[in-house]
Amino acid sequence: MKIKDILRDKEVTLSFEVFPPKTDAGYEAVEKAAAEIAALKPDFMSVTYGAGGGTSKNTVNIAADLQNKYNTPVLAHLTCVSSTKDYVKEMIKAYKDNGIENIMALRGDIPKEGRVCYDYDHATELIYDIKSLDPSICIGGACYPEGHVECARQSEDIEHLKGKVNAGCDFLTTQMFFDNSTLYQFLYRIREKGIEVPVLPGIMPITNAKQVARSVALSGSTIPQKMKVMVDRFADDPEKMKEAGIIYASDQIIDLISNGVNHIHVYSMNKPDIAAGIMRNLATIIR
Ligand SMILES: Cc1cc2nc3c(=O)[nH]c(=O)nc-3n(C[C@H](O)[C@H](O)[C@H](O)COP(=O)(O)OP(=O)(O)OC[C@H]3O[C@@H](n4cnc5c(N)ncnc54)[C@H](O)[C@@H]3O)c2cc1C
């Protein structure tokens, strides 16, 4: 099923993300976690793509299992900055051959050691390629409520985002953020610039103290005082920290839905208990 149709037909949706294992040894554990999250019956699940594409086989296999064995609509990610056009074509074919109808088209982070391939500069080019290979594929793109780290001015980042949407993005998913006012301001600015596609806020439950530093390093997201205080209070008690993080994320989601932002994507980080906690808190609201 195409995600754009799910977003059109359901008033409120909740989706979860998993990431593939870095090594084949970790495959079974991720497969099990993905199956447990699928059993919660989210509206769809996304499967990320390892930076550089080294774990692309695992992305295809996990995504195919979710789609075909567990009957969960899948959004399979694909990055292009480290790939040739031929390799990208092979990946799109592998997704299609496995019945996957939705691709999250990303540039990927530029490798620290430098680029090995210059076929793609930006996600927009990947979106054009997917559209020209199969116009029926539903395409998602990434967006950044606090601005992308490489772009000094948010207005420029939003202009680039508009190009990405014009190339054929059917919806956008945001980078994580922890203060909803950031998202509301971003939505106001992009809508003003004529970006009309659905925007799915990406919610990251912070359930252990180390995650805060890691999340900030990865995303550059601002940590509000409310979250700093929560982590400070519960960091040394893992059970309390986990529950507080689930409740913080649930509270963020309820505020979003209350304000008409109805399609929520949760970075569930291969953790079925965290996905289940969010589902438990929201089941009545989203059904
Ligand atoms: C929801 C989400 C999911 C993600 N999933 C993955 C994943 O599975 N695997 C992974 O490796 N990474 C993933 N990432 C991280 C992502 O790959 C990085 O953030 C990457 O640095 C940018 O990717 P992009 O697709 O947003 O790039 P782009 O849209 O190409 O943007 C990258 C930068 O280039 C600028 N830009 C865009 N177009 C132009 C142009 N025409 N001229 C000049 N500048 C331009 C933008 O303003 C931005 O600063 C994800 C990020 C998000 C938000």
Q: What is the CATH classification number for the domain harbouring 244?
A: 3.20.20.220
Which domain range does residue 109 map to? 3-286
Q: How far is the CA of 207 from the centre of ligand 1 (A)?
A: 26
Query: In angstroms, rounded to a whole number, what is the distance separating the alpha carbons of residues 186 and 154?
Result: 9
Q: How many domains does the chain have?
A: 1
Catalytic annotation present for 243: no
Pocket of ligand 1 (CB under 6 A): 48-49, 51, 77, 79, 106-109, 122-124, 142, 148, 150-151, 157, 160, 163-164, 173, 175, 202
Q: What's the whole-model pTM score?
A: 0.98
Q: Which amino acid is located at 5 in the chain?
A: D
Kindly report, residue by residue over 155-176, the tens digit of the pLDDT.
999 999 999 999 999 999 999 9
Kindly report, residue by residue over 202-231, the tens digit of the pLDDT.
999 999 999 888 888 888 899 999 999 999
Among 197, 83, 191, 195, smallest CA distance to 129 is for 83
Q: How far is the CA of 111 from the centre of ligand 1 (A)?
A: 13
pLDDT over threshold 90, residue 62: yes
CB-CB neighbours of 132 under 10 Å = 9
Element (H, E) at 17: strand 13-18
Q: How far is the CA of 220 from the centre of ligand 1 (A)?
A: 14
- Token pair 């986990």 in the structure block, residue: 242
